[in-house]
Amino acid sequence: MKEIKQALVKAGNDVRAIGPMAPSITNFVTIDFVANAQIAVGGSAAMVYMVDEGETVADIAKCIYINVGTLMPSHGDTMTAAAKRAYEKSAYVLDPVAIGIGELRTKLLEGMKDYPPKIVRGNASEIISLAKMWGLIDSEKGAVRGVDSTDTVESATASAEALAKFIDGAVCVSGKEDIVTDGTRTIRSFGGSEYFARITGSGCSLGGVCAVYASVTDPFTAALAATNAYNVAGKIAEGEAKGTASFKVAFLDALSNLTGEDIANCEMEAL
């Protein structure tokens, strides 16, 4: 755990020092939150939707974020082109929002198996469903209800580990308690807030922040840094919030004030 904490401190401080741009192709419901969270941790945001823009940012950025929620027809071409280019030139974080709902989303996610991301971020049901879609597990679980999970984080651990090994990267499963795994190391991260489930974009913005940290470090450290940052900032914000709106403001404030040491000192345990 000592080496992991040292890597987390470095990742947090490097992002503040470098300010890496992590472009996103994300759903329009959460654009503002994703961008502001990326900026709050010390990164830079760019939201793109056109095919040529997606390919361009995959060339110039070290990591991009692709979120398949609230799809538009043009996303079929843009996300595919960006994911392929990022797979070849850089890296990308995938958030398989509402997997299994709709033909376009299913086609997109099935295709990404051939050019996989370096980080997958999702709730338990989404992680189980993606692992099953890609033929990595055999499970009857993984049903999604809109963007909500019908499974527990613990039940998704085996799926997360299988996915992480397949992509040679990391998977973070978000829930009441979060896990991050590279297929060999699996860490549970504690903290956060019940308010996360009551605001739009907490999971989406976490994926965007994963991409920021992945611009300066390896996938496992990046995914754990982002998860810890959210758990520390969420806990702080909950203590100051009067409701969902004030929580969101307090959360971004807390996120913007975190140091690498704060991220590393989040309560964790190895599984």
Which secondary structure element, helix H or strand E, spans residue 122, and what is its range? strand 119-123
Q: Parallel, antiparallel, or unpaired for β 186-189 and 268-270?
A: antiparallel
Domain that holds residue 137: 1-270
- Name the token pair of 233: 């900032």
CB 20 within 8 A of CB 44: yes
Known binding residue 201? Answer is yes
Known binding residue 183? Answer is no
User: CB within 8 A of 240, min separation 6: which ones?
Assistant: 246, 250
Q: What is the pLDDT of residue 220?
A: 98
User: CB within 8 A of 156, min separation 6: which ones?
Assistant: 124, 125, 127, 128, 173, 179
User: CB within 8 A of 115, min separation 6: which ones?
Assistant: 83, 84, 87, 88
| Mean per-residue pLDDT over the chain, rounded | 93
- Name the token pair of 126: 């989404």
**Could you tell me the CATH number of the domain that includes residue 143?**
3.40.1190.20
How far is 224 from 186, CA to CA, in rounded Å? 10
User: CB within 8 A of 191, min separation 6: which ones?
Assistant: 228, 230, 231, 232, 234, 235, 266, 267
Known binding residue 208? Answer is no
CB 92 within 8 A of CB 58: yes
| Ramachandran quadrant class, 126 (left: phi over 0; alpha: psi -120 to 50; beta: rest) | alpha
> Distance of CA 101 to CAs 25, 66, 96, 192, Å?
19, 17, 11, 28
Q: What is the pLDDT of residue 145?
A: 46
Known binding residue 189? Answer is no
Give the amino acid at 73.
P
Prediction pTM value: 0.94
On the 0-12 / 13-18 / 19+ scale of CB atoms within 10 A, 30 is buried
State what percent of residues in the chain have pLDDT above 90.
83
How do residues 219-263 score in pLDDT, each as one tens digit?
999 999 999 999 999 999 999 999 999 999 999 999 999 999 999
How do residues 112-142 score in pLDDT, each as one tens digit?
999 999 999 999 999 999 999 999 988 655 4
Which secondary structure element, helix H or strand E, spans residue 121, and what is its range? strand 119-123
Of 91-95, 136-140, 182-186, least confident by mean pLDDT is: 136-140
Please measure the distance between the N-terminal and C-terminal CA atoms of the chain and give it in whole angstroms: 12
Number of domains in the chain: 1
DSSP 162-188: HHHHHHTSEEEEESSSEEEE-SS-EEE
How do residues 6-53 score in pLDDT, each as one tens digit?
999 999 999 999 999 999 999 889 999 999 999 999 999 999 988 889
